[in-house]
């Protein structure tokens, strides 16, 4: 009988099904998905399989995934599964990490009471910087103090950098056919973990890169891909486009996005004191991904949660602040902030809240409240000026 390591992944969405499950299965992990969506749980357990459609600009192929199980995290037997696994991975959305932390804390307490010495590593795969470190802080706040040392000895909280564009899939709505679970992805993917945080003996996982310098990978993705993606979405929407492919083929939009990404790369060059992207190879590769005509990725989706994206430490403001620190140009990065302030989406609570805040307080005060940019700071004035200038030309 073939030996399987066991892994449990919180979240049965696109990242879970489109990236985590296929990578872990390739390295002989038996993977359990965990979710709260009753319909999705029933469908996964009904078919135990789905297909990943890997769609490039010039070709497409597929990968069939078998032996998939999904567990209801609110079931009475969930803790038994969690107790037995060797690895936990998480992609549930940043706002749901607290709920997952409750489950993890309860399980750590059980492990402590049973004097369980088996190491458990937890890889956080959210689209945030240092997700594992932040998740650990949430867990430790809930965990009784006398169990902290046990947690430190046997539970690893691992920061990671996950990169794969997985747009919303137009599913087959025939719930009697496994294709209703299919996922469409781009060919490119990258999953990098901080090896310094791993507890115990590391079992090699095909498709995961381990590094002692995760900050470089995080910064490169954050400052270039995430920043460029957001600016493409917000500025593209202002030009009336719906998808990334439409927007990136508008020369005006393309130029703003390209120049803003170069400004971000200049920040990274200064931060790491080296030329990171010789001949703009990395930026060009990101553009090729945005320009995939066979993947329909909607700008409204990419632009979701604008308040979070406008925070001081997030993808739109942070590159500008660091550009100022290094005395570098940020002229084009400003377009991302100004455009984000105009983002409207009746299906996004943050978008609605943002526009209500702007109506009540005005742009300058919203920048102070959301982005922590003082109303008297010249950066605040520059953004307000560009916002008004763009708005006049819409």
**How many angstroms separate the CA atoms of 105 and 107, rounded?**
5
- Residue 203's contacts (CB-CB under 8 Å, 6 or more residues apart) are 5, 27, 86
56 and 186 in contact (C-beta within 8 Å)?
yes
DSSP class of residue 265 equals H
Place of tokens 């059980």: 110
337 and 345 in contact (C-beta within 8 Å)?
no
Interhelix angle 349-361/363-371, rounded to 10 degrees, is 130
**How many angstroms separate the CA atoms of 370 and 216, rounded?**
27
DSSP class of residue 291 equals T
pLDDT of residue 150 exceeding 90: yes
The pLDDT of residue 1: 34
Average pLDDT over residues 42-56: 94
Place of tokens 């390591």: 5
299 and 244 in contact (C-beta within 8 Å)?
yes
Digit-coded pLDDT (tens) for 352-363: 999 999 999 999
Digit-coded pLDDT (tens) for 276-306: 777 678 899 999 999 998 888 899 999 999 9
Digit-coded pLDDT (tens) for 109-141: 999 999 999 999 999 999 888 999 999 999 999
371 and 317 in contact (C-beta within 8 Å)?
yes
Domain ranges of the chain: 5-212, 216-393
54 forms bridges with which residues in the sheet?
61, 185
Digit-coded pLDDT (tens) for 365-381: 999 999 999 999 999 99
Query: Does 216-393 carry CATH code 1.10.1040.10?
Result: yes
Sheet containing 190-194: give its strands across: 160-163, 190-194, 209-211
* Burial classification of residue 138, based on how many CB atoms lie within 10 Å of its CB (0-12 exposed, 13-18 middle, 19 or more buried): middle
3 state SS of 31:
strand
Digit-coded pLDDT (tens) for 219-271: 999 999 999 999 999 999 999 999 999 999 999 999 999 999 999 999 999 99
**How many angstroms separate the CA atoms of 364 and 383, rounded?**
8
3 state SS of 162:
strand
Query: Does 5-212 carry CATH code 3.40.190.10?
Result: no
Sheet containing 155-158: give its strands across: 69-72, 29-35, 5-10, 87-90, 120-124, 155-158
Phi, psi angles (nearest 5°) of residue 299: -65, -35
51 and 182 in contact (C-beta within 8 Å)?
yes
The pLDDT of residue 370: 98
pTM for the complete prediction?
Answer: 0.86
289 and 186 in contact (C-beta within 8 Å)?
yes
Instruction: Output the CA angle 219-189-241, nearest 5 degrees.
Output: 80
**How many angstroms separate the CA atoms of 168 and 98, rounded?**
25
Q: Does an H or E element contain 139, and which?
A: helix 131-142
């Amino acid at each position: 009988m073939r030996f399987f390591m066991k892994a449990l992944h919180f979240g049965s969405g696109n990242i879970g099904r489109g990236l985590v499950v296929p990578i872990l299965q390739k390295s002989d992990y038996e993977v359990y998905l965990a979710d709260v969506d009753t319909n999705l749980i029933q469908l996964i357990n009904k078919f135990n399989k789905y297909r990943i459609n890997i769609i490039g600009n010039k070709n497409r192929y597929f990968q069939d995934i078998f032996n998939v199980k999904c567990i209801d995290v609110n079931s009475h037997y969930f803790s038994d599964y969690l107790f037995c696994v060797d690895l936990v991975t998480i992609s549930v959305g940043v706002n749901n990490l607290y709920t997952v932390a409750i489950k993890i804390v309860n399980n750590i307490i059980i492990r402590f009471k049973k004097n369980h010495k088996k190491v458990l590593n937890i890889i956080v795969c959210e689209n945030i910087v240092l997700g594992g470190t932040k998740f650990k802080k949430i867990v430790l706040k809930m965990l009784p103090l006398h169990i902290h040392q046990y947690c430190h000895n046997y539970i690893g909280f691992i920061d990671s950098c996950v990169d794969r564009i997985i747009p919303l899939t137009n599913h087959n709505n025939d719930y009697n056919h496994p294709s209703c679970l299919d996922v469409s992805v781009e060919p490119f993917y990258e999953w990098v973990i901080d090896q310094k945080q791993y507890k115990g003996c590391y079992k090699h996982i095909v498709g995961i890169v381990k590094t002692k310098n995760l900050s470089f990978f995080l910064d490169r993705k954050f400052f270039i891909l995430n920043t460029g993606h957001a600016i493409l979405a917000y500025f593209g929407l202002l030009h009336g486009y719906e998808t990334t492919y439409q927007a990136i083929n508008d020369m005006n939009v393309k130029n703003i996005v390209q120049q803003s990404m170069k400004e971000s790369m200049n920040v990274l060059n200064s931060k790491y004191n080296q030329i990171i992207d010789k001949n703009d190879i990395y930026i060009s590769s990101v553009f090729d991904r945005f320009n995939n005509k066979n993947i329909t990725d909607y700008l409204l989706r990419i632009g979701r949660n604008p308040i979070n994206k406008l925070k001081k430490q997030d993808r739109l403001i942070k590159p500008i602040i660091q550009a100022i620190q290094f005395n570098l140009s940020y002229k084009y990065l400003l377009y991302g902030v100004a455009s984000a302030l105009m983002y409207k989406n009746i299906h996004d609570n943050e978008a609605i809240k943002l526009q209500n805040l702007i109506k009540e307080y005005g742009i300058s005060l919203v920048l102070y409240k959301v982005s922590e940019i003082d109303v008297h700071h010249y950066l605040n004035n520059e953004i307000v000026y560009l916002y008004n200038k763009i708005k006049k030309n819409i």
